[in-house]
Amino acid sequence: MATDVVLNAAEVERRVVNLLRDRLPVTWMVTDAAEPGPDSRRPNLSIQLDGPDGRAARLVVEVKQVVERRDVARLADQVRLMAADAGDVPIVAARYLSPSVREALAEDGLSYVDATGNMRVVVHSPALFIADRGEDRDPWRKGRPRGTLKGEPAARVARALLDYDRDWTVRELIVASGASTGAAYRVLEYLEREDLVVKDGKRYRVTDWERLLRAWSTDAAFQLTTRVMAFIEPRGVDAFLAKVAQRSTFPKAVTGSIAAKEWATYAPAKAAYVYVSSIQEASEQWGLRPNAAAPNVILLEPKTVGDVPFQNTAPAEGGYLVAAPAQVAADLLNGPGREPAEGEYLIEWMKANEKRWRRG
């Protein structure tokens, strides 16, 4: 897709109409008209859909250049006011809508279309449902990306915001997380746009720790942030965990299913996932043999998130250290097989027992 020209509102409107036409059968008729005047209660564009059975619907479209997640609630109220008749279907359109914005719009029951082809249009009469996927990044945006939760600075900030139930000044968050000043501000600005934190004066507070956890898990899967190697402990997982419980010369933290059972037992673990600062040192000290075919030990060596997985560890009943619940849940959501289901089970426990794992 060409990226040398930023689309203006008229071009976005034209693309929205064409995207709808292209995805409807030839038996449907699409007629569009720009709405006159600057009245905020009038849509930028109205689209008449005539179905093959003679029934019609009117789409009222509000066109924006950029929509942030934090704008969705206000925008939802605005576009619903534009639906003059009970049968009108309010639609949000933009040059580009990010995955989190699309998610929020759908959760609010709103239809949307962006110029890259992302769309979800729901009409009850005549019955119509269109869903399609376009770009997951704004192809017209220039300069620095608008932010993600990838990388060590974001991991430090995200983990601090997840592990502690409190509000923060930027200085307090820097001290607690170990992130640099610049990184902390960049991450907080991104989280504000995503409506994951709110700012009151000079203090920030998480609005939805579960959504923050899921967003961080999506952006920072352990497969991307660590070096991963598989091993076999011939005497089994329990024998291996006994070794992990012994003193060592390197940091370590058990994650995955074995760690999760400290809070919410789901099913017996088939393999032990352990963060270590050095795979070579740990595998030699524990006497592990490489085995990719049928491993029962997976060692994870952080390569981009430093010591974050070792922060706020806690002793397990078996004497070894387990990673913090937020870290364990994020790892399970990115794991193979049944592990994502285990992650969901752990998150349910976390929701019901927030005071037991989030520090004050």
Q: What is the mean pLDDT of each run of 10 residues along the chain (360 residues)?
A: 66 91 91 67 85 90 90 88 80 92 93 95 92 88 70 94 97 95 94 94 96 95 93 95 94 97 91 96 96 94 86 95 98 95 97 94
322 in a structural domain: yes
Domain-located, residue 143: no
| Same domain (yes/no): 207, 237 | no
Domain count, the chain: 3
The answer as to whether 296 is a domain residue is: yes
- Give yes or no: residues 208 and 242 share one domain: no
For residues 110 and 28, membership in a common domain is answered with yes
CB 15 within 8 A of CB 47: no
Residues 209 and 231 in one domain: no
Which CATH number characterizes residue 60's domain? 3.40.1350
In the block, which residue shows the tokens 């997380």?
177
Of the candidates 74, 97, 132, which is a domain's last residue? Answer: 132
Identify the helix (H) or strand (E) that includes residue 16. helix 9-23
- If asked whether residues 88 and 193 sit together in one domain, one would say no
Domain C-terminal end among 132, 164, 182? 132
pLDDT of residue 38: 56
Same domain, 89 and 195: no
- What is the b/e burial string over 248-275, where b = at least 16 CB atoms within 10 angstroms of the residue's CB? eeebbbbbbbbbbbbbbebeebebbbbb
Q: What are the CA-CA distances from residue 170 to residues 107, 173, 182, 186 (Å)?
A: 31, 5, 10, 11
Within this chain, do residues 86 and 180 fall inside the same structural domain, yes or no?
no
Is there a single domain that holds both residue 263 and residue 275? yes
145 falls within a domain: no
pTM higher than 0.85 for the full model?
no
Task: Give the Cβ contact number of residue 108 at 10 Å.
Answer: 16
Is there a contact between 321 and 261 (Cβ–Cβ < 8 Å)?
no
Residue 137 CA to residue 139 CA, distance in Å, equals 6
Say what the pLDDT of residue 33 is. Answer: 79
- The predicted pLDDT at position 136 comes to 83
Same domain, 79 and 185: no
**Structural domain includes residue 15:** yes
* Residue 348 CB partners (closer than 8 Å, separation 6+): 264
Domain of 33, in residue numbers: 9-132
140 occurs within a structural domain: no
For residues 348 and 227, membership in a common domain is answered with yes
Among 80, 97, 132, the domain-final residue is: 132
